[in-house]
Amino acid sequence: MIATLPLPFLSWGTSLIGRKNHESFKAAQEAFSDLNNKVQESVSGIKVTKSFGYQTAESQSFAKINQGVYEKNILAAKYNSLFDPMVLIFIGLSYALTLIFGGLFISRGQFTVGELVTFITYLDMLVWPLQAMGYLFNIIQRGAVSYERIERLLAEKSDVKETKNQFPLSKTVVWSITLNVFLIRKQQLCPIFTFR
């Protein structure tokens, strides 16, 4: 019973770090999305940027957004890196309590060495599923952020409005591909595609 005292704190720590990890990963993904938008705008407007001599301003704007992405990813990595040590500390505390109190019980004659070894083995069997659940919780937090972004994207309304009097497609296009392969002196040449 004493060996399991740290486990509720492990659950609490996993929940706390999981929430922080969720928030920081969400911020990092949104910052990366902003960076992608900036790159797309810059590439599509490169001629205008060069024509008006805005290269320096564009570079500074890109550097600022890039720095934001860097900082948010560092924060996400910090929260993510707290998880493993937290799990190991609470599990180590469980082992320490087991050894301390097990040693006391052995010295009082309430426990045998074999019973202590058996208990430690049982504790080993309990530890890995708890660690795996913690890792799974961490992955689920990241997946939840990605899923929220997908849901938000799918929920956006289209700018193109459909009207009642749309023109139907007048004819259906049927495509066929013919593949011709020619062999000359047992060496295969490139296939020739014919589109119709």
What are the sequence ranges of the domains in the chain?
2-160
Helix (H) or strand (E) holding 183: strand 183-184
Decide: 193 and 178 in contact? Cβ < 8 Å.
yes
Tell me if the pTM is above 0.95. Answer: no
Is 20 a residue whose pLDDT tops 70?
yes
Q: Place 190 in a pLDDT band, splitting at 50, 70 and 90.
A: low
The yes or no reply on domain 2-160 and CATH 1.10.260.40 is: no
How many other CB atoms are found less than 10 A from the CB of residue 165? Answer: 4
Is 189 a residue whose pLDDT tops 60?
no
Measured distance CA(71)–CA(65) in Å, rounded? 10
Decide: 12 and 86 in contact? Cβ < 8 Å.
no
Is 57 a residue whose pLDDT tops 90?
no
Highest mean pLDDT among 46-55, 127-136, 143-152, 177-186: 143-152
